[in-house]
Copies of this chain bind each other. A is one copy, B any other.
């Protein structure tokens, strides 16, 4: 897509971390004219030269139609305060910061939240990443939708309150899932096995959840209500693993076997 025509908005990305890097790549790929600001000059230069953008070392000199703030959550409010009264459309990219952070600071603002786990080295197909957007009014929301749609096929409008719930859902689906894998890796290590023996099983588990709902795809001793196996497994566990196994098995049994009550912990 060629957006180098004069009427295409000029984009500025503020930040140079994982989210900033992947957004900058996607923005230049979509043909926008891009400049990058970071308070650390070298970081801005490095990212700008990597994506063929212009590095800007002075925030006041940063001149664009749309500003995308991709910095740590707890730094957004003070950055917003430092650009009070500026023209242009101001967006942040956080899952949990309210859009109100821009209230009374600038006239035109909103949120552009790409829900993905980014690592600098791993390439991400941004066109497949869901973008959740929010604007301070209808015109702004349309402008954000136009930008987001040029980066991804999946653009959904969501309020600040619901965006926090999305973030919580992502914590369960990504961070807590990974923690379960870490527990599994510990147990395997205790018998001298590598986590790689578990790879075929976790790939099959993911394939299943992609084709049916997680509720329908639930399997295992607790799903079957197999109290004997659960007791045997608990007798071999201690500490965090014992507590998690008991808590999760009880919750799963309560959900799928409303008639079982004798297993409650």
Residues of chain A having any CB pair with chain B under 8 Å: 73-74, 96, 115-117, 119, 122, 124, 128-130, 154, 156, 158, 162, 164-185, 187-188, 190-191, 193, 195, 197-210, 213-215, 217-223, 226, 228-229, 232-233, 236-237, 240-241, 243-245, 247-248, 251-252
> CA A222 – CA B252 in complex, angstroms?
24
B residues within 8 A CB of A168? 187, 233, 236-237, 245
Cβ–Cβ < 8 Å partners of A185 in chain B: 169, 213-215
Given contacts A169-B184, A195-B214, A214-B185, A206 and B203 within 8 Å (CB-CB):
yes
In the complex, A230 Cα to B122 Cα: how many Å? 27
The answer on a CB contact under 8 Å between B223 and A175 is yes
A154 nearest CB neighbor, chain B only: B197
Assess whether A215 is in contact with B182, with CB atoms less than 8 Å apart: yes
> A223 vs B178: C-alpha distance in the bound complex, in angstroms?
11
Contacts of A251 in B (CB 8 A): 179, 240, 244
- On chain B, the residues within 8 Å of A158 by CB distance are 191, 193
Q: Which of B129, B187, B209, B218 contacts A202 (CB 8 A)?
A: B209
Residue pair A174, B247 in contact (C-beta under 8 Å) = no
Q: How far is the CA of A76 from the CA of B130 in the complex (A)?
A: 48
Known: A172-B244, A173-B180. 19 other contacts (CB 8 A): A115-B197, A115-B198, A115-B200, A122-B207, A130-B197, A156-B193, A165-B187, A166-B187, A169-B187, A171-B221, A171-B245, A172-B245, A177-B205, A178-B214, A179-B248, A180-B180, A182-B213, A202-B209, A243-B247
Residue numbers in B under 8 Å from A200 (CB-CB): 115-116, 128-130
Q: Which residues of B contact A214 (CB under 8 A)?
A: 178-179, 181-182, 184-185, 195
Contacts of A154 in B (CB 8 A): 197
Contact of A176 among B122, B180, B190 (CB under 8 A): B180
CB distance from A234 to the nearest CB of B (A): 9
CA distance A184 to B172 in the complex (A): 6
**Nearest CB in chain B: distance from A252 CB, A:** 6
Which residues of chain B are near A198, meaning CB under 8 Å? 115, 169-170, 173
